[in-house]
């Protein structure tokens, strides 16, 4: 049997401890599959005395995580600290410079610095792997790099944030509004005390930027992602979606257009008949469309100690057997810096909800605003009559350009009869 793969882990939070547990619990299985033992020989963490439920007696401790990354007695460094800059970036960059392989679960780091780090790793001849950075235990990056390597990917999209998916599922199943569903998610540990990173779409945007780079052989372009969250989605919208045959999901979507790489994260109306509409709770799902394979969907747990540790150790196993090549699907030197496709050029259908004063002429004024921007209405819902009072009116449109839709909404919102900003959700007929 070959000498052990000596592993250093920077960060012993839930994922770090879960990774150590997996490596220890399945040590014989992993050694048999790798042809060599996978041993944790060093760790870096702030609190040495904390009980993490794993045996750390035989490992060397580092107070300085950056020094851990340069340790000559280590073959691979696992970065589980998090954050796009600071110590996490220092650990990874230092390890690569020292000729160490690197595995990370840090989506923010890869979204912001993935291209530069991949080029550095390629120059040093070491692996930079990050399966755990996107969708937890779902092996989507490995699928793109290996199983779908013969395909031109035409589109990739999915549910990339379990917190938002849980909130939207709870709103649909219980009738609760957003604030109540968020509070429940926090009480259950699915949402942080400050949930903005999740509910404002940033977490999903980090993951989408990484997915798009791997899927399309592009330089990672987080700045090019159009990002919206789910704060504006109300229980009323969820009810209307059901009436219209849709469910609301926060999706990340990417594709190549004639204008460049389109990357967008926002709430979507998806037909209830599509498989992704039935992915509920904290689960994630990703759909890939390829020119030869057609459409495939992967579903699973997108976060948590065990699924994420599973992805980390899968990367370690690949390094142990020498089963790795490019960080992305092409050499880092060949990654294309594609232009961002402007959101204003996006073409699609739209759901609009207006709160209006119930009086004659209101619908005619709204229709005129749509007509003048060449936006074609598909259907309309108005529940009951309450003359002189506020009522919701829901419209769906045929496909139109986003810029025209935005202009029409601006005109609608200036009408005296419209009492609050129009709520818009894009319709995705997947």
CB-based contact 12:20 (threshold 8 Å): yes
Quick check: helix, strand or coil at residue 310? helix
Place of tokens 């039935």: 278
Check if 142 is active-site: no
Kind of pairing, strands 347-357 and 390-397? antiparallel
**Half-sphere exposure (Cβ direction) of 178: Cα atoms closer than 13 Å:** 14
C-alpha–C-alpha distance, residues 236 and 392, integer Å: 9
Helix ranges (DSSP H) in 175-292: 178-187, 196-199, 202-216, 235-244
DSSP at 336: B
Of 100, 107, 207, 249, which one is the catalytic site residue?
A: 207
Q: Could you write out the three-class secondary structure of 348-380?
A: EEEEEEEEEECCCCHHHHHHHHHHHCCCCEEEE
C-alpha–C-alpha distance, residues 31 and 5, integer Å: 10
Distance of CA 350 to the CA centre of its chain: 23
Place of tokens 């936006």: 375
For 306, other C-beta atoms within 10 Å of its C-beta total 15
C-alpha–C-alpha distance, residues 269 and 250, integer Å: 9
250 to 151, 227, 282, 379, 397: CA distances (angstroms): 26, 11, 12, 23, 20
CB-based contact 74:41 (threshold 8 Å): yes
CB-based contact 248:233 (threshold 8 Å): yes
C-alpha–C-alpha distance, residues 416 and 190, integer Å: 41
CB-based contact 171:177 (threshold 8 Å): yes
For the chain, the residue count is: 430
C-alpha–C-alpha distance, residues 180 and 170, integer Å: 9
Strand partners, 79: 10, 104
Strand partners, 285: 159, 299
For residue 80, report the phi and psi dihedrals to the nearest 5 degrees.
Answer: -130, 30
Hey, which residues are catalytic here?
Answer: 207
């Amino acid at each position: 049997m070959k000498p052990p793969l000596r592993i250093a882990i920077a960060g012993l939070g839930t994922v770090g401890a879960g990774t150590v547990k997996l490596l220890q619990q399945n040590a014989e299985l992993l050694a048999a599959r790798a042809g060599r033992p996978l041993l944790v020989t060093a760790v870096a963490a702030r609190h040495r005395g904390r009980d993490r439920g794993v045996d750390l007696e035989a490992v060397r401790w580092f107070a300085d995580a950056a020094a851990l990354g340069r340790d000559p007695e280590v073959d691979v460094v696992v970065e589980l600290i998090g954050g796009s800059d600071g110590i996490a970036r220092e650990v990874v960059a230092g390890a690569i410079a020292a000729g160490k392989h690197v595995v990370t679960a840090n989506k923010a780091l890869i979204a912001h610095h993935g291209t530069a780090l991949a080029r550095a790793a390629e120059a040093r001849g070491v692996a930079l792997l990050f399966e755990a950075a996107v969708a937890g235990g779902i092996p989507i990056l490995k699928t793109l790099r290996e199983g779908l390597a013969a395909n031109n990917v035409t589109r990739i999209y999915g549910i990339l944030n379990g917190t938002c998916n849980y909130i939207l599922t709870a709103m649909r199943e219980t009738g609760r509004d957003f604030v109540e569903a968020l509070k429940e998610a926090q009480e259950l540990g699915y949402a942080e005390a400050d949930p903005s990173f999740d509910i404002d779409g940033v977490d999903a945007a980090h993951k989408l930027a990484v997915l798009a780079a791997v899927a399309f052989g592009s330089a990672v372009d987080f700045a090019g992602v159009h990002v919206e969250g789910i704060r504006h989605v109300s229980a009323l919208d969820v009810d209307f979606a059901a009436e219209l045959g849709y469910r609301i999901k926060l999706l990340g979507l990417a594709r190549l257009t004639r204008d460049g790489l389109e990357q967008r994260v926002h709430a979507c109306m998806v037909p209830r008949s599509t498989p992704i509409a039935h992915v509920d709770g904290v689960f994630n799902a990703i759909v890939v469309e390829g020119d030869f394979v057609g459409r495939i969907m992967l579903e699973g747990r997108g976060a948590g100690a065990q699924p994420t540790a599973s992805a980390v150790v899968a990367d370690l196993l690949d390094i142990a057997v020498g089963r790795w090549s490019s960080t992305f699907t092409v050499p880092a030197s060949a990654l294309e810096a594609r232009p961002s496709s402007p959101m204003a050029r996006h073409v699609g259908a739209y759901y609009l909800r207006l709160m209006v004063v119930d009086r004659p002429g209101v619908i005619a004024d709204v229709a005129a605003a749509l007509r003048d921007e060449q936006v074609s209405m598909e259907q309309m819902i108005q529940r009951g009559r309450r003359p002189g009072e506020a009522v919701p009116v829901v419209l769906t449109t045929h496909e139109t350009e986003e810029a025209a839709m935005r202009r029409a909404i601006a005109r609608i919102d200036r009408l005296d009869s419209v009492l609050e900003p129009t709520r818009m959700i894009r319709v995705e007929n997947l």
